[in-house]
Amino acid sequence: MKAYTEMSRTELEASHSRLISEYEALKAKGLKLDMSRGKPGLDQLDLSMDMMSVLDSSSSLKSEEGIDCRNYGELTGIGEAKRLLAEMMEVEPDEIIIYGNSSLNVMFDTVARSYIHGVMGNTPWCRLDKVKFLCPVPGYDRHFAITEAFGIEMINIPMTASGPDMDMVEKYVNSDPAVKGIWCVPKYSNPQGITYSDETVLRFAALKPAAPDFRIYWDNAYCVHHLYEDDQDVLVEILDACKKAGNPDMVYKFSSTSKISFPGSGIAAIAASKANIKEIAALLSVQTIGHDKLNQLRHVRFFKNLDGIRAHMMKHAELIRPKFKIVLDTLESGLGGLGIGSWYNPKGGYFVSFDSMDGCAKKIVRLAAEAGVKMTGAGATYPYGKDPRDSNIRIAPTYPSTEELAEAMKVFVVCVKLASVEKLLEK
Amino acid sequence: MKAYTEMSRTELEASHSRLISEYEALKAKGLKLDMSRGKPGLDQLDLSMDMMSVLDSSSSLKSEEGIDCRNYGELTGIGEAKRLLAEMMEVEPDEIIIYGNSSLNVMFDTVARSYIHGVMGNTPWCRLDKVKFLCPVPGYDRHFAITEAFGIEMINIPMTASGPDMDMVEKYVNSDPAVKGIWCVPKYSNPQGITYSDETVLRFAALKPAAPDFRIYWDNAYCVHHLYEDDQDVLVEILDACKKAGNPDMVYKFSSTSKISFPGSGIAAIAASKANIKEIAALLSVQTIGHDKLNQLRHVRFFKNLDGIRAHMMKHAELIRPKFKIVLDTLESGLGGLGIGSWYNPKGGYFVSFDSMDGCAKKIVRLAAEAGVKMTGAGATYPYGKDPRDSNIRIAPTYPSTEELAEAMKVFVVCVKLASVEKLLEK
């Protein structure tokens, strides 16, 4: 197939007419499809239904240590829940605090705590004129929403195939004391599905921050979210790397079981050095008496250990692999060789990231919406919703059925072509 | 029995010798008893065991409105959970947001939101030189810990038998724009068990705050926590009273099912005017994707409606009424007429509040601890842990067994007598 970028004006105009007809025909179908959010499909939720029966009215609701999980107490979580999530997050059980159902909430609280109280004796951020965060882009919109809500200035750091541009990260972190953090989704990143290379992680661990209260916000949301049994990315464990590099307190790790068990009813955790954990727990004691220990118990009794989680995640993979295949096959067959878009082929995570020609993403998303296909808003993957090139679109394949997804991707491909041809005709 | 305050020095010295022997004998028993926290007893927890079976692997986990409670979404809670807690909190379902397991966490978040973002367009508290809260005393230590953590100046307001001293409340709130809030436990107050009178509530509703962002923090933690079926306090509903007085936005109401179902695994809520709820929900959307909807569903399917909650609370009452009776009877038989202490006789809630002679509370608590009986720390019921008269001690009868409680109260009475006699001998 001839690349659009090499077509003559006449050829582009002919393509345009054909695409308009195709688009109008799709529009006439009155579709109502949603590829906007990284929500598990109903079949994935069904995988965890047995968790609902793992505790019942005749169960012992005591933890291994004899704690009655029904009553108040155990601020940092019950022992077996710490062990389970510590195993998953590759840290020690005394380097972790178990929270409620939302790791996003843990991240919000972590920023809020730094803003209100400061980090390890440093000035609370609310008393500073300027606080900055580095934001690898494209990235996760809800991360950016948190820093924006605190008036924190966000600086775009381009992603490469091996992670954030580390030259830029080092330049900012090592020289600017206003840079207090960086948002990272280091494995199967949102939205590209990139896993940071060993070199990237080791360069992170070896940072020499100008700010003593600089922290890496390491949101390992997709740590066990592989698509394949035999082809999995491996991420260097950063807390250990930081310790070895002499920066033991420089990282906060976040994770949850949200896309392992139930998205609304999982358990979340923060992992960090013992010094960080001690500080966080002390302030947490003002904030709550404790999180839901029965749900912690439910998770441990259901999954038992990391092997249990891994086996469970392979069931998820079997359900979502065909969906990723539909997305990638449709992109390849519909857009391959046309020179109007590129995408990553992830080995895990929840998204496919598509880059259109510059200046086309908003139009593509609008065209898709008008044809009944809801995508994540263009720009959402950038701080302040501003994609400087207007090119990145996040595709979330998991929630629709395979039939809906195939239909939606057909619409998407036509919208990409149409917007691209119109862009080329503008020149 | 002759009042200690009317005894001669010789009589006091004779009493002192007897009390020392009694105390040493009790100490020799090597007791280990805990009356320090308002935790339900194990028999109370057992009342809710059927809740663990109300959802199982074959249950429909859809809400009445067809929401799949397993997935992301429904930031402010599912419809039926709003209806249930709205009924309990005497507001409309659109005047409520359902949170996670902890109303303390909701209160912390409410202060934090005001500190970080400000209330309805007013200056965020972190940008102000001085923020003050009124604290009816004695009160709840965890309230005071929240305001202390934000550097908020706390002002003691004495409690009377009909609620806080409203002359003082009106004076501060109506004249000082730095006064941004007041902590209230309006029904079966912690620790005295006092319910605010109709007049008190109406005077609250009619406040004319100097600060436009002044809010009443109405922690109705014990709204359905009666001790008797036929002798219950009734509290005027404050949101409605505020509306009628032209102050619709002036109150935040808090409650939870913590001491109704399971303390660690209940559901909590905030109720307020629609304008407040709208503002809170907008900021909450940055903070989390949503709370645990399966636990919301579990609560609704177990309790069904307010009548279900009321019936359940009567089962709690049957279990804890004898414990309150032990405390009150032991105080009466051991200390009645001695002129060295006073206490309230509550009709609900979780505590008995004891006032010793001035300057004796710390000593009583220390003596009790040395004899193996743990009480809430003296001073805990006051901001900064400072009881200016050193006289208030909170007694929490629910967690120990009746046998343990009887034993512990015997120790307590001897400690009160001993500390009082020693005080009188100092003169």
Phi-psi category of residue A374: left, alpha or beta, with phi > 0 → left and psi -120 to 50 → alpha: beta
Burial class from Cβ neighbours inside 10 Å (0-12, 13-18, 19+) for residue B73 reads: middle
A45 vs B37, B49, B68: nearest CB? B68
Could you count the other beta carbons within 10 Å of the beta carbon of residue A295?
A: 28
- Is the CB of B57 less than 8 angstroms away from the CB of A39? no
Above 80 in pLDDT, residue B125? yes
pLDDT digits (tens, 9 = 90+) for A125-171: 999 999 999 999 999 999 999 999 999 999 999 999 999 999 999 99
Return the sign of the alpha-carbon dihedral for residues B169, B172, B175, B181: negative
Query: Which chain B residue shows the shortest CA-CA distance from A41?
Result: B71
pLDDT at residue A408, rounded to an integer: 97
pLDDT at residue A427, rounded to an integer: 80
- Is the CB of B69 less than 8 angstroms away from the CB of A264? yes
Which residues from chain A sit within 8 angstroms of residue B108, using beta carbons? 286-288
- Asked if residues B338 and B4 have their Cβ atoms less than 8 Å apart, the reply is yes
Return the sign of the alpha-carbon dihedral for residues A378, A383, A389, A395: negative
Task: Compute CA distances B300 → A51, B81, B306, B350, whole Å.
Answer: 19, 6, 10, 24
Could you count the other beta carbons within 10 Å of the beta carbon of residue A227?
A: 24
List the beta strands (DSSP E) in B4-143. 33-35, 96-98, 132-137
Distance CA A410, CA B186 (A): 60
Q: Which amino acid is at B412?
A: F
Closest CA to A420 of A358, A336, A342: A358
pLDDT digits (tens, 9 = 90+) for A354-378: 999 999 999 999 999 999 999 999 9
Above 80 in pLDDT, residue A1? no
- Asked if residues B285 and A105 have their Cβ atoms less than 8 Å apart, the reply is no
Closest CA to A354 of A420, A266, A256: A420
Percent of chain B with pLDDT over 90: 98
Distance CA B413, CA B19 (A): 10
Phi-psi category of residue B333: left, alpha or beta, with phi > 0 → left and psi -120 to 50 → alpha: alpha
pLDDT at residue A37, rounded to an integer: 85
Question: Which of A44, A257, A286 to substitute to test the interface with B, most B CBs within 10 Å?
Answer: A286
pLDDT digits (tens, 9 = 90+) for B389-415: 999 999 999 999 999 999 999 999 999
B295 vs A108, A265, A287: nearest CB? A265
**pLDDT level of residue B280 (50, 70, 90 thresholds):** very high
Could you count the other beta carbons within 10 Å of the beta carbon of residue B404?
A: 18
B155: distance to nearest CA of chain A, Å? Answer: 19
Q: What is residue A160's three-state secondary structure?
A: strand
**In chain B, where are the structural domains located?**
4-44+310-426, 61-304
- φ, ψ dihedrals at B373, nearest 5°: -115, 115
Closest CA to B180 of B239, B135, B141, B241: B135
Above 80 in pLDDT, residue A82? yes
Question: Which of B285, B287, B293, B384 to substitute to test the interface with A, most A CBs within 10 Å?
Answer: B287
Which residues from chain B sit within 8 angstroms of residue A39, using beta carbons? 71-73
Phi-psi category of residue A73: left, alpha or beta, with phi > 0 → left and psi -120 to 50 → alpha: left
**pLDDT level of residue B37 (50, 70, 90 thresholds):** confident
Say whether pTM exceeds 0.90: yes
Above 90 in pLDDT, residue B320? yes
- Lookup: tokens for B38: 């308002």
Which residues from chain A sit within 8 angstroms of residue B291, using beta carbons? 100-102, 264
Distance CA B375, CA B372 (A): 10
Could you count the other beta carbons within 10 Å of the beta carbon of residue B202?
A: 17
pLDDT at residue B234, rounded to an integer: 98
Which residues from chain B sit within 8 angstroms of residue A68, using beta carbons? 42, 45
Query: Which chain A residue shows the shortest CA-CA distance from B142?
Result: A286
Distance CA B335, CA B355 (A): 12
Question: Which of B104, B256, B288 to substitute to test the interface with A, most A CBs within 10 Å?
Answer: B288
Query: Which chain A residue shows the shortest CA-CA distance from B45?
Result: A70
Question: How much is the mean pLDDT over chain A?
Answer: 97
pLDDT digits (tens, 9 = 90+) for B93-124: 999 999 999 999 999 999 999 999 999 999 99
- Is the CB of A289 less than 8 angstroms away from the CB of B115? no
Tokens 């909450």 map to which residue? B284
- Lookup: tokens for A288: 């709550």
DSSP string across B296-311: HHHHHHHH-SHHHHHH
pLDDT at residue B392, rounded to an integer: 98
A286 vs B45, B145, B289: nearest CB? B145
- Asked if residues B402 and B323 have their Cβ atoms less than 8 Å apart, the reply is yes
Query: Which chain A residue shows the shortest CA-CA distance from B298?
Result: A52
DSSP string across B270-303: EE--HHHHHHHHHHHHHH-S---HHHHHHHHHHH
The domain A4-44+310-426 having CATH identifier 3.90.1150.10: the answer here is yes
Q: What is residue A287's three-state secondary structure?
A: helix
Q: What's the whole-number mean pLDDT along residues B321-344?
A: 97
pLDDT digits (tens, 9 = 90+) for B79-88: 999 999 999 9
Count of helix runs (H) and strand runs (E) in chain A = 13, 13
CATH class for the region spanning A61-304: alpha beta
- Asked if residues B173 and B214 have their Cβ atoms less than 8 Å apart, the reply is yes
CA angle B244, B245, B251 (to 5 degrees): 90
Question: Which of B262, B295, B297, B299 to substitute to test the interface with A, most A CBs within 10 Å?
Answer: B262
